[in-house]
Structure formats: structure tokens, C-alpha cells
């Protein structure tokens, strides 16, 4: 029926002069969009099935394929865009919640893009990172207001205060929680190997720990989410830190649902649930209905890990984020993770992903400020996540007050992801968000790791260049240094919340 006919999102154009009929595109497309017509001896595409992942385009040996957006030229209305029309058509057809994946792509204002950085001129020298040491090492975990020192008879100074467990990051960028189930083992192995090579951390997400990842314990954070999949004492002790996930930026306030079809033998083993059953993560932790309950869970985990590992808590950035963060720190979190409205996901209702939460730029600014005002900033490190796209975003997040950042989407892009936002289908042609062995083998963990290492090293170089330009040679002199930031085209009150001055104003 024509009413239900949803126009294709993409058009796959094929240059028949270039096409050699190798049929790679036909074999490769996991969505079955491309097909070969024996009679016509031509390759065609069923455009409706194309998700726009560009895999066939990338693989075509003769560059015969171009994947382009279907203009779907409805009358150019500002309020009723083609996206809205198509969404209504889909819902009128199915009566269901619209599902999507990856991060929010609404055209909200990017505050990162309205912040510019400082550099030294004349009055202090900029520093060349190729000639001088430039330090970006970061420690996450609880710090002290005061260290007690003691001098022995020989005049040596000894440290008396016991230092809380810390995570050591050689680059202030970690890989966000992405569970086994939402992404493939090969994707996880790529992240793990890269984290190990660079000296940072990856996060298991809430899907338990595949045995293949156990050897990466010293570069691994294990997550405890509301489903408690795969959580036992060995799991808690398998990594370098434990992270309690309360919420994530892509879907604040709701839980998760891994459909039974995806719960294969291997997933069943790591999640500790029967094969084929739906894996439901409840919206709240059913043992955390308030802040005092969070404290109990934090300390239960600390007991289980003999106080040897930092325990972090991750939340989505919501309106009341600053007081909530202060409560988390008081409840005993050694680090907190704030995931902004741009944070990614394997699957989320579109309405939640696109409309719930606040931009991370505000969240980090107000959380850092609040923790300082309450005199508890030293008690926990602040990790920021949600839409970090490049080294400039990292620098701005740190200058606004973060200790380090998490990247998820950027890491997946390095592995091949083209942000088609169909992770929830489990058919990822790039072998990332799928468990289909035919697809996952497309992602070689060695090559994946190399690409991720390249990305982090590239960002590290860029961060060092910018630091040197600012005339500082250690990342701690950037952390919370909002003097290094200026706003362009922002309202006065927004500047106040961000704690920065407008461009043009001196110190």
C-alpha cells in the first residue's frame, strides 16, 4: 500500500561501465541490498535495504559504486522535514518505538565549536614539544588534600600518607564502555590491544568478560550495570578498576535490551544467562533507589576488591548533574564519568537519544565548579564522555575541568564505522556491532588495534602541540584552566556557566 511505502534513505548508484561483475558487493552486504540479475547480467541494488554503511562502496575493486543520500525532495518545509515524515510513516505502519543507534545527531549547538584556545605570544615562550618534554600522563582516582611527609635521620623525606589506588593513563583518553554483545569480540580485542600499547584503558561495558580479554586486566575497567551480567567476584577483580553504570548519555533514565536472537553461545557464557533469552538491563539498579544505596554498592565492591581498585560511577548528564555528581563523590566514588547528550549506544529509542540530557560542555563545567566549591574536587577524578570527536574536544573538555575523556564513537570510526546508526540490527558490515562470524572476521584485531593506536598517538601529538603553544608542559596545568578558553558567539549566561570569558577579553 502506497501509504506505507517508506522512501529509501540511500540510493546506491553503480557505474555499469566500471562494474566487472565480480559480485563482491552482492556477497558482502549483510542486509542483502545488492543483487545480481542473471538475465540482464547486471548488478542492482534494492535501495530500501541499504543502511548507508558504505561497505560495498569501500570494497568495490573498480570504484563503480557510489552510495548517496536519497534527496526525497518533499516540499522544503522548515518544521516538517523529511526525517519527521518518514518517522511518522514508520510508526503509523508498526505502532512501535523507533529504535536507533550511536549518538544523538540532532543539530544542537556544539559548545566545543564555540570555544577557542589560547597560545603564548612574546610575554612567555611557547614550547616546542619536539625539543622539550611535554607531559600528558594522568592519574585517575582519589587524591588527598594534604600529604603527610616525614623526614628520617638521614634527612630523607618519606611519604606517610597512604595513596588511594589510581589508574595511570599515558594519554588522557580511554575507550568507553562497549559491551560484548553490542560489539564483536574482534572489536573488543582491538580496543584492548590498543589500550595496552598506548597505556590507557578500555571498558568491558555491561556484558561480562569474554575469556579472551582476561589477559588485558591491567588495561581494563570492568563495568557493573543494572543487569549485573557476568558479575562475580572474579569479574570485579579481573580489571584495574570497577565502574558502576547508572546511566549513559544516549539513553538517560532507561535500561537496555539485548534481543534473544543475539544471545549466542559465547554471549550466553559471558553474560551468564541462557542462550536465546533476552538480556534485559532494568532502567534503575534495583538495589539503588537513592544515594545511600549507591554508597552501599560502592563499598560492597571495594570490599570485594580489597580496596585495591578505584571504583567509578557513570551517569548521564542531566539537568541536576552537579549536585548528583557531588553526591556520588561523597558516596565514595573514586572517579565519576559524565556522559553527555551526544553519547553513543548500541541501541536506544530515538526519542530518548535525541531529546534527553544536556550537552557535555555544560555538564563538565558545572560539575567541576560544584565539586571545587564544596571542597571535594580532589576526592574523585572526573571523566567526560559523549561526542568527543578530536583532540581539540579533548583539550577543551580538560580545560573545562575534566581529568580525562572516554571515546566510543571515535574509536569505532577508527575501526571502520561509518555511523549508519544501525548497530541494533546486529548486521554490521564492518564487523563491529555484530556477532555474525562471517561479519566479525572482517575486522582483524591486529589491524584494528594499530588504527586505534594511530588515532590516540595522533591526538597525543596534537594535544602536546597545543599545550606547548600555550606555554605549558604538563597536562595538569591545563586541567580546569579555563583562562585558556574563550567563547565565541555565546550568551553571557552561557559563558558564566562554562566559567569562561568571551573572545577579546584579556585575563
Partner 1 sequence: MPYSLSSLIPDKHFRVPSACGVSGIMNTSGERFSGEVVVTSMSVMRERGNGLGAGFAAYGIYPELKDYYCFHMLYDSAYAKKNTEEYLANHYEIVESEPIPTRKNPRIKEVHILWRYFLKPKFPETVTEEDFVVSTVMFINEKIEGAFVMSSGKNMGVFKGVGFPEDIGDFYRIDEYKGYIWTAHNRFPTNTVGWWGGAHPFSILDWTVVHNGEISSYGVNKRFLESYGYKCTLMTDTEVIAYLVDLFMRRFKYSPAITAKILAAPFWKDIDSMPEEERLLYSALRMNYGGALLNGPFAIIVANRNMMMGLNDRIKLRPLVAAVKGDFLYIASEEAAIRIVCPDPEIVWAPKAGEPVVGVLRSEESVSLKV
Site of interaction with partner 1 (CB under 8 A): 120, 122-125, 127, 132-133, 135, 137, 139, 143-147, 149, 151, 156-159, 161, 163, 166, 372, 375, 377-378, 470-474, 476-484, 506-507
CB of 172 to partner 1, least distance (A): 12
Alpha-carbon distance of 75 to 61, in angstroms, equals: 38
Minimum CB separation from partner 1 for residue 460, in Å? 14
Give min distance, CB of 238 to partner 1, in A: 25
Q: How far is the CB of 103 from partner 1 (least distance, A)?
A: 30
Q: Residue 18 is placed in which grid cell?
A: 566500471
Q: Which of 397, 392, 393, 396 is nearest to 381 (CA)?
A: 397
118 or 264: whose CB is closer to partner 1? 118
Write down the number of H helices and E strands in the chain: 15, 23
Buried b (16+ CB within 10 A) or exposed e, 145-157: eeeeeeeeeeeee
For 413, the grid coordinates are: 570510526
The position carrying cell 586505534 is 452
Nearer to partner 1, 2 or 145 (CB): 145
Instruction: Write down the residue that cell numbers 578530536 correspond to.
Output: 390
CB of 13 to partner 1, least distance (A): 52
3-state SS string over 363-410? HHHHHHHHHHHCCCHHHCEEEEECCCCCHHHHHHHHHHCCCEEEECHH
User: Closest distance between partner 1 and the C-beta of residue 479, in Å?
Assistant: 6
Least distance (Å) between residue 274 CB and partner 1: 45
Q: Which of 90/457 has CB closer to partner 1? A: 457
Give the whole-angstrom CA distance, residue 466 versus residue 464: 5
Per DSSP (E only), the strands in 80-227 are: 99-100, 115-117, 138-140, 149-151, 157-159, 167-169, 173-175, 202-203, 220-224
Compute the distance between CA of residue 307 and CA of residue 305 in angstroms, rounded to an integer: 6
> What are the backbone angles phi and psi of residue 38, rounded to the nearest 5°?
-55, -40
CA 412 to the chain's CA centroid = 9
Amino acid at each position: 500500500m502506497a501509504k506505507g511505502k517508506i522512501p529509501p534513505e540511500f540510493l546506491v548508484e553503480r557505474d555499469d561501465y566500471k562494474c566487472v561483475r565480480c559480485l563482491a558487493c552482492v556477497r558482502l552486504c549483510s542486509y542483502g541490498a545488492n543483487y545480481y540479475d542473471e538475465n540482464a547480467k547486471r548488478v542492482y541494488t534494492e535501495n530500501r535495504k541499504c543502511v548507508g554503511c558504505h561497505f560495498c562502496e569501500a570494497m568495490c575493486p573498480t570504484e563503480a559504486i557510489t552510495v548517496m543520500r536519497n534527496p526525497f525532495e518533499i516540499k522544503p518545509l522548515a518544521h516538517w522535514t523529511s526525517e519527521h515524515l518518514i518517522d511518522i510513516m514508520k510508526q503509523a505502519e508498526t505502532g512501535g518505538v523507533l529504535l536507533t543507534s550511536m549518538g544523538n545527531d540532532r543539530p544542537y549547538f556544539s559548545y566545543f565549536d564555540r570555544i577557542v584556545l589560547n597560545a603564548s605570544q612574546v610575554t612567555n615562550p611557547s614550547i616546542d614539544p619536539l625539543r622539550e618534554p611535554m607531559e600528558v600522563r594522568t592519574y585517575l582516582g582519589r587524591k588527598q588534600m594534604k600529604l603527610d611527609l616525614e623526614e628520617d635521620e638521614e634527612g630523607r623525606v618519606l611519604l606517610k600518607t597512604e595513596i588511594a589506588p589510581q589508574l595511570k593513563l599515558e594519554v588522557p583518553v580511554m575507550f568507553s564502555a562497549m559491551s560484548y554483545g553490542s560489539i564483536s569480540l574482534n572489536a573488543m580485542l582491538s580496543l584492548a590491544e590498543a589500550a595496552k600499547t598506548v597505556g590507557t584503558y578500555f571498558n568491558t561495558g555491561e556484558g561480562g568478560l569474554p575469556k579472551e580479554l582476561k589477559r588485558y586486566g591491567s588495561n581494563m575497567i570492568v563495568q557493573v550495570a543494572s543487569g549485573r551480567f557476568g558479575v562475580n567476584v572474579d569479574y570485579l577483580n579481573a580489571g584495574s578498576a570497577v565502574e558502576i553504570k547508572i546511566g549513559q548519555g544516549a539513553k538517560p533514565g532507561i535500561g537496555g535490551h539485548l534481543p534473544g536472537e543475539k544471545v549466542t553461545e559465547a554471549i550466553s557464557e559471558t553474560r551468564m544467562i541462557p542462550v536465546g533469552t533476552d538480556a534485559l538491563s532494568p532502567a534503575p539498579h534495583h538495589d539503588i533507589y537513592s544515594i545511600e544505596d549507591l554508597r552501599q554498592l560502592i563499598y560492597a565492591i571495594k570490599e570485594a576488591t580489597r580496596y585495591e581498585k578505584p571504583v567509578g560511577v557513570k551517569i548521564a548528564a542531566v539537568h541536576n548533574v552537579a549536585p548528583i555528581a557531588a553526591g556520588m563523590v561523597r558516596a565514595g566514588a573514586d572517579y565519576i564519568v559524565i556522559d553527555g547528550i551526544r553519547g553513543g549506544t548500541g541501541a536506544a529509542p530515538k526519542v530518548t537519544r535525541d531529546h534527553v540530557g544536556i550537552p557535555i560542555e555544560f555538564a563538565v563545567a558545572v560539575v567541576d565548579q560544584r565539586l571545587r566549591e564544596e571542597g571535594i574536587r580532589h576526592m574523585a577524578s572526573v571523566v567526560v564522555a559523549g561526542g568527543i570527536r578530536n583532540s581539540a574536544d579533548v583539550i577543551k573538555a580538560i580545560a573545562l575541568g575534566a581529568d580525562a575523556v572516554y571515546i566510543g564513537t571515535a574509536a569505532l570510526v577508527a575501526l571502520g564505522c561509518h555511523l549508519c546508526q544501525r548497530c541494533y540490527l546486529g548486521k554490521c558490515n564492518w564487523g563491529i556491532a555484530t556477532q555474525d562470524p562471517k561479519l566479525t572476521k572482517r575486522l582483524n584485531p591486529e589491524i584494528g588495534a594499530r588504527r586505534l593506536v594511530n588515532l590516540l598517538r595522533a591526538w597525543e601529538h596534537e594535544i602536546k602541540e597545543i599545550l606547548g603553544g600555550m606555554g605549558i608542559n604538563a597536562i595538569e596545568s591545563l586541567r580546569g584552566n579555563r583562562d585558556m578558553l574563550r567563547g565565541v558567539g555565546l550568551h553571557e549566561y552561557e559563558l558564566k556557566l562554562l566559567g569562561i570569558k568571551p573572545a577579546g577579553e584579556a585575563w
